[in-house]
């Protein structure tokens, strides 16, 4: 069975390693030249790392689960060119319920795109990340229920329009 996610070494991945090495060298130089500056920087890096580790784990588990249970043909059926309304609803729903920093979703979306996910659905997913059910009660307190309902509906509809426009522009190679 062909797996959806495959790790292949690329120039891009080497660039990431070069960047990491450059950052480490920079920290060492700063440590020896201005040691008082390094402590806050390391504390900030540590705190950010603690915050993103749970998200990395969730994304890794999600990618592994998709890789194990979903064949590429099934993926294309639900997220490819012929996905229809199901694909749009899946992109909208998963965009709304997705959590964590947006950049953590990029590797997963890039892999799905390589396997046949429509660009329109990727754009729709990313747009719907702005709709957060956990924040709706707070928004209602500040703006009122009518405003929140109208805004949410408009955002979902706009996400579909944005996805369609993105796909058409990419097909036209603009």
Q: For 75-117, write each residue's pLDDT tens digit.
A: 778 888 888 999 999 999 989 988 777 888 888 898 889 888 9
User: 53-76: string of b/e by CB count within 10 Å (b at 16+)?
Assistant: eeeeeebeeebeebeeebeeeebb
The answer to whether 92 and 128 are in contact (CB under 8 A) is yes
124: number of Cβ within 10 Å: 28
155 Cβ contact partners less than 8 Å away, ≥ 6 residues apart:
127, 128, 130, 131
- Specify the pLDDT at position 10: 55
How far is Cα 132 from Cα 62, in angstroms, rounded to an integer? 20
Q: State yes or no: pLDDT of 156 exceeds 90.
A: yes
Q: What is the pLDDT of residue 12?
A: 57
Q: Enter the pTM of the model.
A: 0.64
The answer on pLDDT for 144 being more than 80 is: yes
Give the mean pLDDT of 60-86: 79
The candidate with the shortest Cα–Cα distance to 113, out of 83, 85, 82, 75, is 75
In the numeric block, which tokens belong to residue 54?
């749970």
For residue 54, the model assigns a pLDDT of 85
The pLDDT-based confidence of 5 (bands split at 50, 70, 90) is very low
Burial of 154 (0-12, 13-18, 19+ CB in 10 A): exposed
The residue among 151, 93, 80, 157 whose CA lies nearest residue 120 is 80
Mean pLDDT on 1-6:
48
């Amino acid at each position: 069975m062909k797996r959806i996610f495959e790790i292949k070494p690329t120039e891009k991945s080497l660039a990431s390693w070069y960047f990491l090495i450059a950052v480490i060298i920079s920290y060492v130089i700063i440590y020896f030249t201005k040691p008082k500056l390094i402590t806050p920087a390391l504390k900030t890096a540590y705190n950010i790392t603690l915050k993103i580790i749970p998200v990395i784990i969730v994304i890794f588990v999600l990618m592994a689960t998709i890789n194990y249970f979903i064949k590429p043909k099934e993926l294309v059926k639900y997220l490819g060119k012929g996905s229809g309304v199901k694909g749009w609803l899946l992109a909208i729903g998963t965009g709304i319920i997705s959590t964590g920093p947006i950049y953590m979703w990029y590797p997963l979306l890039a892999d799905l795109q390589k396997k046949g996910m429509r660009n329109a659905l990727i754009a729709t997913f990313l747009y719907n990340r702005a709709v957060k059910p956990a924040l709706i009660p707070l928004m209602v307190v500040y703006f009122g229920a009518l405003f929140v309902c109208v805004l949410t509906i408009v955002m979902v509809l706009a996400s579909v329009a944005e996805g369609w426009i993105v796909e058409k522009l990419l097909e036209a190679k603009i």
